[in-house]
């Protein structure tokens, strides 16, 4: 059996004392409310960023009573500070009628043709994502990710789409 010199044991004991007594006292459980989960609450509109991708912007104070109201906000475009960040809308002043049944939304827009080229993909994404979020805002039990949107213009219907299909970057 080997004995360690007391000179080596003393620094080790002092180090252990320092590490175990850092001065923080234990406390009871401190309530901080519900943890944040999932997407932000409230209405979001989806605009096109300078890099050509969709970017959702919050409209927490927007009180909408229907899907058409959300589309009118989208058509009115980004605010001045959002424009300074380079955001824009490709959705023009079109005629539209949006209806919904639970997680299924249909947008009818006479005089419009929905297709799959890159520019239309961004327009479709703006419409789909804004409508999905609006439906979720109007019916909080519905998650935006569960909403499917079909776009019907003068051509064949396109969709149903989910917003996630347009958010890949």
One DSSP character per residue, 121-143 reads HHHHHHHHHHHHHHHHHHSTTS-
At 41, list the tokens.
């609450």
Residues 6+ apart with CB under 8 A from 63: none
- Comparing 22-31, 36-45, 148-157, 159-168, which segment has the lowest mean pLDDT? 22-31
Q: What is the mean pLDDT of the chain?
A: 81
Whether 101 shows a pLDDT value over 50: the answer reads yes
Q: What is the pTM of this model?
A: 0.74
Alpha-carbon dihedral 61, 67, 71, 72, rounded to 10 degrees: -70
pLDDT tens digits along 23-77? 545 555 555 444 444 445 679 999 999 998 999 999 988 889 999 999 999 999 9
CA angle centred on 91, ends 85 and 94, rounded to 5°: 150
Please check the confidence at residue 15 and state whether its pLDDT lies above 90: no
Q: Give the end-to-end CA distance of the chain in Å, rounded to a whole number.
A: 68
pLDDT, tens only, 106-125: 999 988 888 766 667 899 99
Residues 123, 113: contact at Cβ < 8 Å?
Answer: no
Stronger pLDDT, 101 or 4, i.e. the higher one: 101
Cis peptide before 22 (omega within 30 of 0): no
CA distance 37 to 151: 30
Cα 4 off chain centre by: 63
Radius of gyration from C-alpha coordinates of the chain = 27
**Window from 71-85, 112-126, 148-162 with minimum mean pLDDT:** 112-126
């Amino acid at each position: 059996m080997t004995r360690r010199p007391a000179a080596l044991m003393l620094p080790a004991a002092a180090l252990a004392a320092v590490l175990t007594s850092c001065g923080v006292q234990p406390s009871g459980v401190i309530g901080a409310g519900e943890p944040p989960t999932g997407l932000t609450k409230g209405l979001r509109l989806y605009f096109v960023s300078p890099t050509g991708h969709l970017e959702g912007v919050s409209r927490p104070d927007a009180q909408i009573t229907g899907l058409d109201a959300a589309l009118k906000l989208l058509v009115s475009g980004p605010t001045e500070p959002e424009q300074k960040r380079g955001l824009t809308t490709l959705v023009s002043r079109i005629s539209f009628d949006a209806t919904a049944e639970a997680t299924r939304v249909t947008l009818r827009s006479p005089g419009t043709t929905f297709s799959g080229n890159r520019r239309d993909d961004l327009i479709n994404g703006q419409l789909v994502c804004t409508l999905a979020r609006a439906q979720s805002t109007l019916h909080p039990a519905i998650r935006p990710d569960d909403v499917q949107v079909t776009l019907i213009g003068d051509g064949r219907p396109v969709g149903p789409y989910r917003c996630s299909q347009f958010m890949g970057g």
